[in-house]
Amino acid sequence: MQCRDKSEDNKNIVREREDVVGLDAAILMHPDVWVASGHVGGFTDPLVQCQGECKERFRADTLDGEACPKCGGKLGEARQFNLMFKTFMGPVEDDAAQIWLRPETAQGIFVNFENVLNSSRKKLPFGIAQIGKSFRNEITPGNFIFRTREFEQMEMEYFCHPDEAEKWFEYWVEFSMGFFTRFGIRKEMLRLREHTDDERPHYATRATDIEYRFSFGWSELETINHRGDHDLKAHSEKSGKDLSYFDEQTRERFIPHVVEPAMGADRTLLALLADAYDEEEGEKEIRTVLRLHPEIAPVTVAVLPLSKKDTLVPTAKRVHEILSKSWNAQYDDTQSIGRRYRRQDEVGTPLCVTVDFKTVEEDDAVTIRHRDTMEQIRVPIENLAAAVGDQLEAIRKDVTS
């Protein structure tokens, strides 16, 4: 299933705003980038290994007690394990050629700060956003796609004057919470959790998680960090490049502070699916339905001819062509109409349009079926696009209310 949360995030954060620009930085960067950022020296998790039969390895911070959760054996001493994947550039595997797969997309933004500033001619405050692959050698990946070793990140670094950082931190916390509810996640399934002093990253002045109540408990979808000037200072010192900002109005030069909303596309998709999933008791069977927001549903509208009869197919194809110009439309004529309705319900298709024999023999109209209510209305084909647009808008309001 290809839910379109990635493109919607790009639209919501970048294309709908004048103060944020998009970037696609390199996955493989100079190893000194990760030295300067602190990842080489400090990007670690505590690792313990079972001394009993199973010999399994676990993250120490996820365990209660001193016994192995799998076999009950004794656990060894905890040691720090660097989460970055190591690889080599070029034909010779030696220390000089060692590089890392990026564990986050943020550092690509910081080392390109001056390039973006000069090319975009933006003035503070402004943000640089990026969607891309990150890689972490997780000790215990799990919970389906919640924790994986290869994942899609959506991060934005918002650069501002130090005196305005707290204001922008509060703004992006509120904005980020609104992002999730905008696409249909119920408010009661979300919460804010401020990091305590002992869990907050060393570079962060403040950090707040937005958590979702998964079946396995409350877990983070996004973290909003006030990173201060830590990253630009660190890269400036390591590279010798001046990454300060000169404000032409105040004639002041300073290192900008950074507020960072950082979220996972995979986790967001998991939360959207979990929140949209529903089962309804019917007279004969249970109806499974995904109540996805229309903007993230993999199929927006399905065109279903009542049968494969040659008399219906040309009109059904014409209807599909009309709708596919504006929406992600799918044509489906396999199995009974009831099974096709159920199939579309299961993938979250908001609307189905049925072409029947009355369409071609009498009124040149089709039936629109609503996913959530299963109500049906008859609409002339010439008015179909407008009617579908109205129906989708009504579903958007229902999903986010």
Find all residues with CB under 8 Å of 363, minimum gap 6, and list them. 378, 380
Q: What is the pLDDT of residue 9?
A: 53
User: Domain locations in the chain?
Assistant: 5-25+104-273, 290-400
Q: What is the pLDDT of residue 1?
A: 33
CA 28 to chain centre: 22
Q: What is the pLDDT of residue 5?
A: 41
Q: What is the pLDDT of residue 4?
A: 40
Residue identified by tokens 């950074």 is 258
What is the sign, positive or negative, of the torsion defined by CA atoms of 27, 30, 35, 36?
A: negative
Of the candidates 124, 85, 131, which has an alpha carbon nearest to the alpha carbon of residue 232? Answer: 124
Q: Cis omega before residue 125 (within 30°)?
A: yes
The answer to whether residues 394 and 382 touch, using CB atoms and an 8 Å cutoff, is no
Q: Which residues pair with 139 in a beta bridge?
A: none
Question: What is the Cα Rg of the chain in Å?
Answer: 26
Question: Roughly how many angstroms between the first and final C-alpha of the chain, as a whole number?
Answer: 25
DSSP string, 104-165: -SHHHHHHTHHHHHHHH---SSEEEEEEEEEE---SS-BTTTTB-SEEEEEEEEEEE-GGGH
Q: Which residues pair with 351 in a beta bridge?
A: 301, 370
Q: Could you say which of 3.30.930.10, 3.90.330.10, 3.20.20.80, 3.40.50.300 is the CATH number of the domain covering 5-25+104-273?
A: 3.30.930.10
Q: What is the pLDDT of residue 118?
A: 92
Q: How many Cβ atoms are within 10 Å of 68's Cβ, its own excluded?
A: 22
Of the candidates 252, 267, 273, which has an alpha carbon nearest to the alpha carbon of residue 142? Answer: 267
What Å distances lie between residue 159 and 11, 114, 119, 194, 254, CA to CA?
20, 12, 16, 21, 11
CATH number, span 290-400: 3.40.50.800
Q: What is the pLDDT of residue 96?
A: 77
In tens digits, the chain (401 residues) has pLDDT values of: 333 444 455 667 788 888 999 999 999 999 999 999 988 887 777 888 899 888 888 888 778 777 888 888 888 888 887 788 988 988 877 777 889 999 999 999 999 999 999 999 899 999 999 999 999 988 778 888 999 999 999 999 999 999 999 999 999 999 999 999 999 899 999 999 999 988 887 888 899 999 999 999 999 999 999 999 999 999 999 999 999 999 999 999 999 999 999 999 999 999 999 999 999 887 788 999 999 999 999 999 999 999 888 899 999 999 999 999 999 999 999 989 999 999 999 999 999 999 999 999 999 999 999 999 999 999 999 999 999 999 999 988 887 77
Structure tokens at 129: 């956003």
How far is the C-alpha of 257 from the C-alpha of 227, rounded, in Å?
Answer: 7
How far is the C-alpha of 379 from the C-alpha of 364, rounded, in Å?
Answer: 9
